[in-house]
Structure 1
């Protein structure tokens, strides 16, 4: 069973901390435990747990203090089969379109200059990797994904923008992300994705989940507009971009 330490978080929650760094192995352990808790709850076990919140390296468990407490939750977690926490993480695979053309990529030139390359190199590096969704945060549906190729490891912008368009594909430090909403932001903007990442009408509003795998498929501005129109008209569903790690969606 993975090792973690338990940290009390008020009288309605506790945090299970697996480590102190961003690491795919820690993220996999967090997600595996989160899935094990979800499966146990679905079977009517782990009474009193209200919600879980996974991060890069920890899992916060929120519970109803009228039904249970820290000690009882700790006992219940220890009853989870160890094998269920050691299974390989089975995240979904996505191939998401991204337009890297200048109108959608205000920082592409500056990033290329910073790494002593050209824009084609930046696009090739960014779209040539498969990323793991470490966690959702900052905004509803905002996926923190890693790990970027080493040449693209850049600090955040010294001057954050007050408005970053929804769908913006961005990088900072060793991570990449997609802004699901228009918001302020200090990451470098390399392109834009037309696929909505959050829909409150869905049973699971966030399109991506921790443990998912994401690749970016470079598309032209014309193809971006076609996909955006089809999604808005209901002719295309976001699930169409879920795929195997080998296959490309139709």
Structure 2
């Protein structure tokens, strides 16, 4: 028997908006007017579903403020899956728990120089800060990876900037790998050479994505990231090392010695 997918209104658990996305997916969003609450809730929702593993769920695709749940439409319907998610949320709650089970911390060393930080003066001026204060705002922040963007680039929210950073008026066509970039109050790292409209304020000597590693990245959505400015003289020492969680880094912290 062929039935029409239920309406979005019929699939709306408390605190959530659930909308059918084709025949075999649900788009979930947190019903809140605050952007940070939506981002935090989406991360928490991902953790809940990875823990509960609802019947029929096949895959999760994380967005900055949303979560796409792909499922086997021969095993479960939109409405049935939405009801399961509603029960899981009611039982476990959407309040941020400071990172899901298994969330890890990463320390990203970055070098700041005229070559590696072409947009730092512009970003500082836009924020009404000195360049040192702009970097201090970044390095004092604990960022959370919201999603993996193109080429497995970690998109992170939570930079303690006093305002929003605009994107470049003309995107660059070739940004070097390892470039640390900002836009709004978010940051992202360029894994491979390619175009970007985000503003470049530093570069890490570490390799953050390596197809020869299994898996090719050691981070995932929900992990925490902190940046440390290091001296340019340490570039050769760290260049090409694969990014690993802080507790696995040789000698622990890289050391903020710029």
Does the 8 Å contact 1:97/1:224 carry over to 2?
no
Query: TM-score normalised to the size of structure 2?
Result: 0.79
TM-fit CA distance, 1:81? 6.3
Q: For residues 87-106 of structure 1, give each alpha carbon's deviation from its aligned partner in whole angstroms, at most 9, with x where no partner exists.
A: 61423222110111222111
Query: TM-score normalised to the size of structure 1?
Result: 0.81
CA RMSD of aligned residues (A): 2.7
Aligned equivalent of 2:66: 58
Does the 8 Å contact 1:96/1:241 carry over to 2?
no
Aligned equivalent of 1:82: 90
**Is 1:198 aligned to 2:178, yes or no?**
no
Does the 8 Å contact 2:139/2:229 carry over to 1?
yes
Does the 8 Å contact 2:127/2:164 carry over to 1?
no
* SS in structure 2 at match of 1:180: coil
Partners of 1:144 and 1:112 lie apart in 2 by 21
Question: Given the superposition, is the C-alpha separation of residues 105 and 152 from structure 1 closer, same or farther in structure 2, using an over 3 Å criterion?
Answer: farther
Aligned equivalent of 2:140: 128
**Is 1:142 aligned to 2:153, yes or no?**
yes
Does the 8 Å contact 2:144/2:158 carry over to 1?
yes
Partners of 1:183 and 1:22 lie apart in 2 by 32
Across the two proteins, how many residue pairs are aligned to each other? 236
Which piece of structure 1 moves more, 62-71 or 171-180? 62-71
Question: Given the superposition, is the C-alpha separation of residues 116 and 70 from structure 1 closer, same or farther in structure 2, using an over 3 Å criterion?
Answer: closer
**Counterparts of 1:147-166 in structure 2 under 5 Å?**
147-151=158-162, 153-166=164-177
Does the 8 Å contact 1:28/1:89 carry over to 2?
no
Partners of 2:14 and 2:210 lie apart in 1 by 34
Aligned equivalent of 2:5: none
Aligned equivalent of 1:37: 49
Partners of 2:33 and 2:174 lie apart in 1 by 30
Aligned equivalent of 1:228: 239
Q: Which residues of structure 1 form unaligned runs of 5+?
A: 232-236
**Is 1:17 aligned to 2:43, yes or no?**
no
* SS in structure 1 at match of 2:155: strand
Question: Given the superposition, is the C-alpha separation of residues 56 and 240 from structure 1 closer, same or farther in structure 2, using an over 3 Å criterion?
Answer: closer
Partners of 2:235 and 2:34 lie apart in 1 by 32
